Structure 1
Amino acid sequence: MSSRFSLKPVSLSECLTAQRCIPELATGASLARYERKIAAAPFLALVAYQQHHIIGFKLGFALSPQCFYSWLGGVVPSYRSQGVAKTLLQYQERWAKAHGYQEIQVKSMLCFSAMRAMLAKYQYLQLTANSQIDADTKIIFSKLL
């Protein structure tokens, strides 16, 4: 399997198609949910492709004029550990900085250990105290751009 892939900013409906390709995130995915969460905020919907096949996505939106929230993202299981998530993350960071955001926030959970490790590797700081974390806790991470 070649590791060459491309990234493309897309519409919310195209992003939804990508989310449905990720087994852990397919349940409950809907355009109405996207629209409720994002409302009128500026957003970036990004999809990774390999030869026109969806292999990953990342979706985020502005929480404020200074803070961008990386809300959802994932990689198709057969393409994991090939740098797709890292490339999506780096693109999103560059885009957010170029659009004037000073911070990116992300939420994760204990069950997503690979995501938490990647965030630590790329200097995201954990804002949620360890004493408050259990299996159902959403852990908040932040990075200044």
Structure 2
Amino acid sequence: MTRFEYLPDLPAGATLEALLDLLALVFDDQDRAAWLAELRYQQARGPVQLWLAWAEGQVVGCKLGYERKPGHYYSWLGAVRPERRGQGLASALMEQQHQWCRRQGYRRLRTQTYNRWRSMLILNLRHGFEVVGTCQGAHGLMIVLEKELLPVGEADERPGR
């Protein structure tokens, strides 16, 4: 059984260790130390919110983000353990993040991805993101996507919103 957890700030201790394990596994171009440095760097700039999926005592999925500017939220990182993909975890985590953003009054989401992460690109498109441009990233050209959020209480009947 999968348990979902929201954390308003970066965790410490065993939860942080479990998150670092997941990030180093999924993004094999960075080790745990590099991820820890990047997480701490982002946290120093402002709060980083996390949504975690737990199963059998380990973090099997995550979604992280932070405020870009008032009204705008950056959906920063998402990861699911390879053996747990295809079970809807990434969608569930994304939906939780987007619902939280609506409740907090955010009106626009932004994310970026590389073409090599096609499953993430497709997931973003299915959840209502639109490609708005490209930019040069550390590992090549990045695809920039944005999504407008409807305010809480408004009927949201359009698919992918």
TM class, shorter-chain normalised? 0.7 to 0.9
Q: Which residue of 1 aligns with 2:19?
A: 18
Q: Note the 1:10-89 alignment, pairs <5 A.
A: 10=7, 11-12=9-10, 13=12, 14-15=15-16, 17-22=18-23, 23-25=25-27, 27=31, 28-30=34-36, 32-89=37-94
Q: Does 1:139 align with 2:143?
A: yes
Alignment: residue pair count:
139
Structure 2: give runs of 5+ residues left out of the alignment.
150-161
CA RMSD of aligned residues (A): 2.2
Q: Report the residue type matching 1:29 in the other structure.
A: W
More strand by share: 2
Structure 1: give runs of 5+ residues left out of the alignment.
none
Percent identity over paired residues: 22
8 Å contact from structure 2 (residues 26, 80) kept in 1: no
Partner Cα distance (2:61, 2:5) in 1:
11
Q: CA deviation at 1:16?
A: 5.7
Partner Cα distance (1:125, 1:95) in 2:
20
Q: Report the residue type matching 1:137 in the other structure.
A: L
Q: Report the residue type matching 2:18 in the other structure.
A: T
Q: Which residue of 2 aligns with 1:124?
A: 129
User: When the two structures are superposed, what TM-score results if normalisation uses the length of structure 2?
Assistant: 0.77
Q: Which residue of 2 aligns with 1:6?
A: 3
Partner Cα distance (1:39, 1:106) in 2:
20
8 Å contact from structure 2 (residues 42, 48) kept in 1: no
8 Å contact from structure 1 (residues 44, 60) kept in 2: yes
